[in-house]
Amino acid sequence: MRIAILGGTGEQGPGLALRWAQAGEEVIIGSRQKEKGEKVAIELNQELGKELLRGTDNVTAAAAAEVVVLTVPYSAHVSTLESVKEQLQGKIFVDVSVPLDPENARRVIMPSAGSAAEEAQQVLGSEVKVVGALQNVSAHVLRDINAVIDCDVLVCGSDKDARATVMQLIERLGIHAIDVGPLEAARQIEPITALLIRLNIRHKVHSAGIRLTGLPKR
């Protein structure tokens, strides 16, 4: 599947790009500046020892992909969404954003829409299949491509087929994906990131994650 990772040069983007490329997906790194996207793609290809990734600007990346993943810091959330709104129509959009308090990342300040994912749906309109996922995965663990990812990923979104597609893409990364239902579940999922940052700081690690227990085995 052709996946664009917007803000792919930031914290979570490169880890996702490398892991999906290694799993055989076609990945396009998007950045605000085309040159930066290209540069990061070259660096990541060097790390892989193969030319699996390409980089460009966010708009070109979004236009070319079937599934578009957003990993920008929350301060760039709405502006990035607006810049690619046209290119996302009819597609699956995966929002990894968390509205962390810029003054204290141990907290969230939830937007008036209820969550970052619901805000994305408002900005993008009803024809975009917005899915919230991957917010709670340690960027640090994700980036170390030899590290095993010891956590689950909660997936929410109002289009059932879009949820299923994203869950499959997550399973391709070797991560167990859990269906949480409608997009408004992002209201409970996004704050968990602040909790994990709090635990990372307190316990002096970069790897805190969650697993769900007590659910039926698949």
Sites of contact with its own copies (CB under 8 A): 106-108, 138, 141, 150-151, 154, 178-181, 184-185, 187-189, 191-192, 194-195, 198-199, 202-205, 207-216
| Residue number with CB closer to its own copies (102 or 181) | 181
Distance of closest approach, residue 92 Cβ to its own copies, in angstroms: 21
Q: How many whole angstroms from its chain centre is CA 121?
A: 15
Distance of closest approach, residue 44 Cβ to its own copies, in angstroms: 24
In the numeric block, which tokens belong to residue 188? 């409970």
| Residue number with CB closer to its own copies (38 or 144) | 144
Q: How many whole angstroms from its chain centre is CA 175?
A: 13
Sole residue written with tokens 């769900």: 212
Burial 195-214 (b: 16+ CB within 10 A, else e): ebbeebeeeeeebbbbeeee
Distance of closest approach, residue 91 Cβ to its own copies, in angstroms: 25
Distance of closest approach, residue 94 Cβ to its own copies, in angstroms: 19
Backbone dihedral angles phi then psi of residue 146, each to the nearest 5 degrees: -90, -10
Q: How many whole angstroms from its chain centre is CA 104?
A: 21
Strands (E), 121-199: 129-132, 152-157, 176-181
Distance of closest approach, residue 161 Cβ to its own copies, in angstroms: 17
| Residue number with CB closer to its own copies (73 or 182) | 182
| Residue number with CB closer to its own copies (42 or 195) | 195
| Residue number with CB closer to its own copies (42 or 210) | 210
